[in-house]
C-alpha cells in the first residue's frame, strides 16, 4: 500500500464499522483517512473529519473514495465528487449499479461496487465486490487490501454484477436476520418461563458458540446439526417444526431473501 489518503463519504452504521476495522488493521501505517459526515466532528490521529464535502482541503488527492451514504443520499453528493475522478471509487451503497457511477463520474472512472456487512467493525465482514473495466490491477489490489482489513472478500466476475442484489440479501442484510432470530429466541425463552437474563445469556452464548464451532471444526452446518439430533430426541422435535416443507423456516427465509433482493433492485 502507498500512503495516499483515503476519502470516506458517509460514516454512519456501516462507515463506522469499516473505519473501526481500518483503524485496527492500519494503525501502524501513516495513511490519512478523510471522513465526511454531518455527525462527526472530532479528529483522531490519522482520521480527519468534515461535516460536508465542501469543507475538504482544496489540495486533497485521494487514492480511493469510499461511498457509504444511503442510496437515497448519493444523488445529492456525487456532483461534488466528480473532481476526484482520477481516484478509484469504492461504493458500498446497496442497489446502485456500476452504470450509475459511469453516468455521474464519467465512463473512464474506476469503480468497485461492493457489499460488506457490519461485522467489519471486528474484522469479520464478508464482502462481495465487482469492478468495472477501468479498475487497474494496482487499484484492485488496493481495494482488496482495504476490504481484507475488515474481513474476507469474495470478488465476482466483472460480467456478473446482476448477482449483487441476491448477494446483498444473503450477506449485507443477513446480519439483521440472525440478530432478529437471537432476539426472538430470548423472548420465547421468557415466554416459556425463563428469567430474562438467563434466556438472553443462553440464546447469545449458543449463537456465539455455534458460530465458533462452525469456524473451528471444518464441518458443514448439516453435519453439526446432525451431531445434536438423536432419533426421537428433543432437538428432532423442534427440527420437525422448523424443517417442514410448507410453513417451515426455509420457506420463511426464502420469502425474506426474495423481498430483500427485490428491494435492492428497486434502489438501483
Ligand atoms: N447498515 C448495513 O448493515 C449495511 C451493510 C452493507 C451496505 N450498507 C450500505 O451502506 C450505506 C450506508 O448505510 P448506513 O446504514 O451506514 O447508513 P447511515 O447510518 O445513514 O450512514 C450514512 C451517514 O452519512 C451521512 N451523510 C449522508 N449524506 C451526507 C452528506 N451529503 N454530507 C455529510 N454526511 C452525509 C448521514 O447523515 P444523515 O443521517 O444526517 O443523513 C449518515 O451519518 C448504504 O448505502 C447501505 O446500502 C449498509
Q: Which of 155, 160, 150, 114 is nearest to 137 (CA)?
A: 155
- How is the chain split into domains, by residue range? 6-161, 174-267
Q: How far is the CA of 11 from the centre of ligand 1 (A)?
A: 6
pLDDT band at 3 (very low <50, low <70, confident <90, very high): confident
Topology at the third CATH level for domain 6-161: Rossmann fold (3.40.50)
Q: How far is the CA of 92 from the centre of ligand 1 (A)?
A: 10
Give the residues surrounding ligand 1 with Cβ less than 6 Å away.
Answer: 10-15, 36-39, 52, 68-71, 73, 76-77, 92-94, 115-118, 172
- Ligand 1 pocket test, candidate residues 73, 76, 118, 178, most atoms within 8 A of CB: 73
pLDDT at position 20, please? 84
Q: What's the rounded Cα separation, in Å, for the pair 170 and 23?
A: 27
High-pLDDT (> 70) share of the chain, %: 97
Who has greater pLDDT, 253 or 20?
Answer: 253
pLDDT at position 239, please? 97
Q: Whole-number mean pLDDT of the chain?
A: 93
What is the CA angle 261-66-121, rounded to 5?
75
pLDDT band at 206 (very low <50, low <70, confident <90, very high): very high
Contact at 8 Å (CB) between 256 and 178? no
Q: Does the pLDDT at position 27 exceed 70?
A: no
pLDDT band at 29 (very low <50, low <70, confident <90, very high): low
Q: Does the pLDDT at position 23 exceed 90?
A: no
Topology at the third CATH level for domain 174-267: ProC C-terminal domain-like fold (1.10.3730)
Rounded average pLDDT over 183-188:
98
Q: Which numbered atom of ligand 1 lies nearest the CA of 74? A: 28
**Domains 6-161 and 174-267 alike in fold:** no
Nearest CA to ligand 1 atom 21: 12
Q: Which numbered atom of ligand 1 lies nearest the CA of 117? A: 5
Q: What's the rounded Cα separation, in Å, for the pair 45 and 49?
A: 11
Nearest CA to ligand 1 atom 40: 38
Amino acid at each position: 500500500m502507498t500512503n495516499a489518503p483515503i476519502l470516506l463519504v458517509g460514516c454512519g452504521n456501516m462507515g463506522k464499522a469499516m473505519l473501526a476495522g481500518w483503524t485496527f488493521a492500519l494503525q501502524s501505517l501513516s495513511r490519512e483517512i478523510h471522513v465526511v459526515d454531518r455527525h462527526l466532528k472530532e479528529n483522531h490521529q490519522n482520521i480527519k473529519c468534515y461535516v460536508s464535502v465542501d469543507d475538504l482541503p482544496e489540495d486533497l488527492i485521494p487514492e480511493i473514495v469510499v461511498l457509504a451514504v444511503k442510496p437515497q443520499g448519493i444523488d445529492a453528493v456525487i456532483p461534488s465528487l466528480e473532481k476526484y475522478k482520477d481516484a478509484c471509487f469504492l461504493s458500498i451503497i446497496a442497489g446502485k449499479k456500476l452504470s450509475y457511477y459511469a453516468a455521474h463520474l464519467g465512463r473512464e472512472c474506476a469503480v468497485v461496487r461492493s457489499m460488506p456487512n457490519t461485522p467489519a467493525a471486528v474484522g469479520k465482514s464478508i464482502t462481495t465486490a465487482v469492478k468495472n473495466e477501468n479498475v487497474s490491477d494496482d487499484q484492485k489490489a488496493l481495494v482488496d487490501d482495504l476490504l481484507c482489513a475488515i474481513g474476507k472478500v469474495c470478488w465476482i466476475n466483472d460480467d456478473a454484477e446482476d448477482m449483487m442484489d441476491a448477494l446483498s440479501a444473503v450477506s449485507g442484510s443477513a446480519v439483521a436476520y440472525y440478530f432478529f432470530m437471537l432476539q426472538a429466541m430470548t423472548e420465547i425463552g421468557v415466554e416459556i418461563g425463563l428469567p430474562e437474563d438467563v434466556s438472553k445469556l443462553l440464546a447469545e452464548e449458543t449463537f456465539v458458540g455455534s458460530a465458533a464451532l462452525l469456524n473451528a471444526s471444518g464441518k458443514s452446518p448439516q453435519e453439526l446439526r446432525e451431531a445434536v439430533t438423536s432419533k426421537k430426541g428433543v432437538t428432532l422435535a423442534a427440527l420437525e417444526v422448523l424443517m417442514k416443507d410448507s410453513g417451515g423456516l426455509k420457506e420463511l427465509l426464502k420469502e425474506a431473501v426474495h423481498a430483500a433482493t427485490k428491494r435492492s433492485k428497486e434502489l438501483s
